[in-house]
Amino acid sequence: MSPFDDHLPCPALRRWLVPGWEGARAAVWSAPPQSRWRPSRGLLRLLARADVAALDDAALPASLDVLVVLSPLPEPGVELPEAGWSALRPGGTLIELASARRRGAGDLLRPWVRARRLREATAQRVRRWLERGAFAPEQWVTVEPADVVVTIVRRAVG
């Protein structure tokens, strides 16, 4: 049983994600590795195949159409720097791909606690982007790779 059973499943990321931004200027930003979490190799390979450049510190404001953020669940991780948020043009799309950290012994002994924490963390993702000036949130869980929470928001115009 997945802790995300109350989310709707979406198509496999490789079929949905990259064709969605074809022809758009896109970049990816990843939270730094933490204890028991690293960006998934599968997600990194997918983004490398799509030829998405890493977001650099010198990104020009309003220069990106799509920004992909890789982050851990349930921890909030490191916040996207303001320079990254400002690099996304008004009306641009931010796609956050949040994957769960590796399970510890406590997670195996009390799976209901982990499931509750993950559900609360997914709700906090949407709230955090709305507070930052985003609108039109969507959120679901991927089928392939399994249990990656996709949060999509658009940056407000103004």
User: What's the whole-model pTM score?
Assistant: 0.82
pLDDT for the residue numbered 1: 45
pLDDT for the residue numbered 7: 55
Q: Which domains can be identified in the chain, with CATH numbers?
A: 9-155 (3.40.50)
Q: Confidence class of residue 118 from pLDDT cuts 50, 70 and 90?
A: confident
Segment 120-140 shows an average pLDDT of: 87
Segment 48-59 shows an average pLDDT of: 77
User: Bigger pLDDT: 88 or 146?
Assistant: 88
Segment 112-128 shows an average pLDDT of: 80
Instruction: Point out which residues pair with 27 in neighbouring strands.
Output: 53, 67
Instruction: Point out which residues pair with 68 in neighbouring strands.
Output: 28, 95
